[in-house]
Amino acid sequence: MSNKVIHAIYDDDDVLLKAIKDVRDANHQIEEVFTPFPVHGLEKAMGIANTRIAITAFIYGLMGLGFAVWMMNYMMIVDWPQNIGGKPSFSYAENMPAFVPIMFELTVFFSAHLMVITFYLRSKIGPFVKAKNPDPRTTSHLFLMEVIVDSDENKLVDLLTNTGAIETKIVEKH
């Protein structure tokens, strides 16, 4: 298979969505689409599966809650029980109302931070990472579709131009 891809540039999100549909209908493989803002319906048009990041957030939240319970049980009940204002210190359950705020805060803390870290890792973004968008205008106002050249490249260029691409460029990808 050739390593050639075509970068087709669009200047309108609705035209882009239509183009994605046409290109996929013509049985071409869209490698990637770069957009300056979240275009609604883009992932559906491209056939991208739903993200599972919200599920991880829920799991991280449970971890935070578990950590909070473990920590406070160890510190306040097991390791050094103290009589504070006559509040019972014999069991976690009896003392729990006073622990609710921190159970909640740590749930949120774990869930939010670990989810965002997961997002950064999965999307491979972070400080010192080099941006992958092939054209600098795609973070501002243009949309770029990267299509794999799998057959006659002139025909593909024609197809893309017909779908409304304002520029097309054939690039050797390594």
| Contact flag: residue 39 with other proteins (CB under 8 A) | yes
Shortest Å, Cβ 159 to other proteins: 20
Contact residue for other proteins among 62, 93, 129, 170 (CB under 8 A): 129
d(CA 151, CA 145): 17
Q: How far apart are CA 35 and CA 123, in angstroms?
A: 15
Q: Which two tokens stand for residue 54?
A: 């919200």
From the number of C-beta atoms within 10 Å of its C-beta (0-12, 13-18, 19+), residue 103 rates as middle
What is the bridge-based pairing of β-strands 4-10 and 143-148? antiparallel
Question: For other proteins, what does the binding mask look like between residues 80 and 119, x meaning CB under 8 A?
Answer: x-x-xx-x-------x--xx-xx-xxx-xx-xxx-xx--x
Helix (H, G, I), strand (E, B), or coil: what is residue 174?
coil
Q: Considering CB under 8 A, how many residues would be counted as binding other proteins?
A: 69
Taking Cα atoms as reference points, which of 167, 162, 57 lies closest to residue 108?
57
Two structure tokens written together for 49: 């599966």
Binding pattern for the stretch 48-67 against other proteins, x by CB under 8 A and - elsewhere: x-xx-xx--x---x------
Query: How far apart are CB 52 and other proteins at their closest, in Å?
Result: 9
What minimum distance in Å lies between the beta carbon of 154 and other proteins? 27
Query: For 37, phi and psi rounded to 5 degrees?
Result: -150, 165
- Please report, as ranges, the residues that interact with other proteins according to CB under 8 A: 11, 13-14, 17, 32-43, 46, 48, 50-51, 53-54, 57, 61, 71-72, 75-76, 79-80, 82, 84-85, 87, 95, 98-99, 101-102, 104-106, 108-109, 111-113, 115-116, 119-120, 122-133, 136-141
